[in-house]
């Protein structure tokens, strides 16, 4: 059975996505390939978000304060991804602050500028404030925010030019097979989630709240990559990461404001 699974390209891509987007070890019996890993990024996000939510619930049972739990769970999210998306946010902020002429140069600079520090600080404060305010709903917000954050990166990959004078495409775009095919795993997740909510024995108010939670990240996952593309005239690896973090933060905020 394991040999049959290991021959499936999508299994290898999923394993590659796990290795690329996290610092956690891969399954020893599954080979990795990195051709079409972007399509599985939202699924990886859900797994990370579920892990953060479980940690929240465990610490809440131990009567830890929401402030402490928020700090720990946000830190865990950064640790699991190796700071990949946070690094992109910082570099993108420095690039935007440097202006159109020096944008890419600033994004490639390994030094962190004032704009990068400010953007990181602001995002962390907004995430922590939102999670503290969400309270008992916070554990369920992690998978949703992580999912839509990575959907935004998919939208950016499939719809905007790549900002690298040496390359016309990112390696994600090189193996891109169209928006519909690359979004299939995400669409399946959304469809299955809606079916579960509709046919679950939830009260009407709770079902509506669940549907709201599920759909709230749609708007920022489209607007934010579009806005970044306008600001820096396209996208690159750093701006993909920035989209993830900014959409996650926006989703937390929207859940807090309206839930």
Q: What is the pLDDT of residue 167?
A: 67
* Reported confidence tier of residue 207, pLDDT bands at 50, 70, 90: confident
Q: What average pLDDT does the segment 105-115 reach?
A: 88
C-alpha–C-alpha distance, residues 233 and 227, integer Å: 10
Rounded to whole angstroms, how far apart are CA atoms 91 and 93? 5
- Is residue 18 assigned to a domain? no
Over residues 28-87, the pLDDT tens digits come to 777 888 889 999 999 999 999 999 999 999 999 999 999 999 999 999 999 999 999 999
Mean pLDDT across the chain, nearest whole number? 90
pLDDT at residue 111, rounded to an integer = 87
Q: Which pLDDT belongs to residue 201?
A: 81
Would residue 7 count as lying in a domain? no
Q: What is the mean pLDDT of residues 164-168?
A: 67
Distances (CA, A) of 121 to 117, 126, 219: 6, 9, 24
Average of pLDDT values for 105-119? 90
Instruction: Name the pLDDT band for 200 (thresholds 50, 70, 90).
Output: confident
Q: Please tell me the predicted confidence (pLDDT) of residue 238.
A: 93
Residue 12, in any domain of the structure: no
In a domain, 14, yes or no: no
What is the residue range of 171's domain? 40-258
Q: Is residue 104 part of a domain?
A: yes
Question: Domains in the chain: how many in total?
Answer: 1
Q: Say what the pLDDT of residue 173 is.
A: 87
Q: Is residue 30 assigned to a domain?
A: no
- DSSP H helices in the chain: 2-6, 9-21, 41-61, 66-80, 84-98, 103-108, 114-134, 138-159, 171-174, 179-182, 184-199, 204-215, 218-232, 237-258
Q: What average pLDDT does range 166-187 have in this prediction?
A: 85
**pLDDT at res. 203:** 81
- At 23, is the pLDDT very low, low, confident or very high (cuts 50, 70, 90)? very high
């Amino acid at each position: 059975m394991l040999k049959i699974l290991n021959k499936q390209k999508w299994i290898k891509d999923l394993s590659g996505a796990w290795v690329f987007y996290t610092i956690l070890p891969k399954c020893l019996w599954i080979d990795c390939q990195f051709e079409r890993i972007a399509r599985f990024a939202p699924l990886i996000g859900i797994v990370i978000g579920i892990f953060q939510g479980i940690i929240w619930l465990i610490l809440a049972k131990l009567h830890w304060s929401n402030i402490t739990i928020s700090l720990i769970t946000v830190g865990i999210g950064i640790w699991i991804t190796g700071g990949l998306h946070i690094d992109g946010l910082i570099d993108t902020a420095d690039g935007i602050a440097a202006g159109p002429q020096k944008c890419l140069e600033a994004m490639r600079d390994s030094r962190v500028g004032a704009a990068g520090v400010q953007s990181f600080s602001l995002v962390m404060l907004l995430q922590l404030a939102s999670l503290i305010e969400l309270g008992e709903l916070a554990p369920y917000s992690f998978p949703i925010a992580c999912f839509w954050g990575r959907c935004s990166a998919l939208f950016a990959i499939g719809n905007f030019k790549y900002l690298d004078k040496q390359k016309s495409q990112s390696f994600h775009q090189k193996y891109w097979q169209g928006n519909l095919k690359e979004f299939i795993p995400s669409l399946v997740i959304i469809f299955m989630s809606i079916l579960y909510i509709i046919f679950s024995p939830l009260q009407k108010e709770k079902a509506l709240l669940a549907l709201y939670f599920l759909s709230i990240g749609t708007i920022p996952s489209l607007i934010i990559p579009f806005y970044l593309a306008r600001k820096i005239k396209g996208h690159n690896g750093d701006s993909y990461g920035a989209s993830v973090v900014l959409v996650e933060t926006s989703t937390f905020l929207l859940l807090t404001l309206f839930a």
